[in-house]
Amino acid sequence: MARIVFIGAGSVVFTRQLVADLLSFPDLPELDLVLHDINPARLDVARGTAEQLAARTGRPLRITAAADRRTALHGADFVVNMIQVGGVDASRVDLELPNEFGLRQTIGDTTGIGGVFRALRTFPVLSGIARDMRAVCPEALFLNYTNPMAMNIWWLATVAPDLRAAGLCHSVFWTVHDLCALIGVPLEGTRFRAAGVNHQSWLYEWSRDGADLYPQLREKIAADPELERRVRVEIFRRIGYYPTETSEHSAEYLSWFLRSDEQIERFRLRPMQHLDTDRRNLAEFHAAQQALAEGRDLELEDAGAAEYAPQIIHSVVTGTEREIHVNVPNRGLISNLPEGAVVEVPATVDGSGIAPIAVGAIPVQGAVHNRTYLSVAELAVEAALTGSRELVLQAMLVDPNASSTLTPDRIAALVDQLFKVHQDLLPSTLGGGVELDLSDVPNRS
């Protein structure tokens, strides 16, 4: 019986979708699902959600809720990570405090000032998970959903290179899904591949019956001027390949969009938009909590098992072959991005596990932007390893959005303020309150 552990299972919407996707595979045998969260109320909702879905589908599912992480991980075959260290309160600070300095973000969870401080809060917890996995499930496959994806997988590859880990994101799938809908072509039967870095991969192949679909997209854009007010359409026009995350996310990764009121108006952006998402997620949690207490059915989205973690579990357990996209260290996968950096590439998955596909060189005009993104990530990882706050500042001086908006002095003042506010959640190497044991890091004492 495959043992699957959800870490951060209190992410109520995500847990619901993952469990629903797992139960949608009729050929999966009974699974052993273990739910872990540090918040007891959220853990109760996660357990009630899983129990209701199993009952509604009539599928066998062994369900356990465990407050202790190492107990939860014992004997795991798959570990699905979806934690948010500091919760919505810390994420709100990552948006609101920079905004007070004049630095605007829309989401703040992937790169830039918000992404870096989210990563620094997450690194100690990832190290703790790695220690627990080495002790009780060293052969388990670690499947990460937690952002910032590239930084988190890079950190894990640095402190625990012996563990099998991959980062998963649905942005490639939903990008192609939405583009197909835009040009009126069914998703089924299309062939697509993207490569680059998470949230900034480039759709380098998108075809149907051997015919490239990009010309149809260009015709659609030319016929509708309003489409040119989308961030991703502007990136597509300038780069020549479509990026694989929403316009709201993508606006933060370049210097082109959030630097002025005029650009924000032109591209219909809403700074601090993610605060609305946090409020909706909190409302969804309370709604699910109440529905379970009253014995009502939870609302389900029929996404057709679109999430990658259930697909991977299904493939490994049943031997079914499929192709997905994963985030892993660059070991000869993309020739014009730094070796060892975390990249997003296609991968095959079957009973033997995940096999990333070497794609060679990606379009150079996309790779140059990926390198800037990866430079921010590299500096953040190195900052935590060495205890250098100066490297955190230098990461922000590299970041396109921050460096196009604020002077170095203002960036330095903002970084200092964020260190103060997040003090209790940051690693001890950076003077924070969370112990960070680096004794297992290769070539480090």
Token digits for 79? 């570990």
The residue assigned the tokens 């190497």 is: 429
Closest among 79, 66, 59 to 4, alpha carbons compared: 79
Parallel, antiparallel, or unpaired: how do β-strands 61-66 and 31-36 relate? Answer: parallel
Cα atoms in the 13 Å half-sphere on the side-chain side of 290: 6
- Residues 395 and 383: beta-carbon distance below 8 Å: yes
Token digits for 263? 């650009």
- Residues 345 and 359: beta-carbon distance below 8 Å: yes
Catalytic-role residue among 36, 170, 274, 422? 170
Token digits for 152? 């988190």
Q: Residue 144 forms beta bridges with which residues?
A: 81, 167
Is the four-CA dihedral 124, 128, 129, 130 of positive or negative sign?
positive
Parallel, antiparallel, or unpaired: how do β-strands 200-208 and 211-212 relate? Answer: antiparallel
CA-CA distance, 176 to 219, in Å (whole number)?
Answer: 17
36 annotated active-site = no
Q: How many other β-carbons are positioned within 10 Å of the β-carbon of residue 133?
A: 24
Terminal-to-terminal C-alpha distance of the chain: 40
Amino acid, res. 124: P
Residues designated catalytic: 170
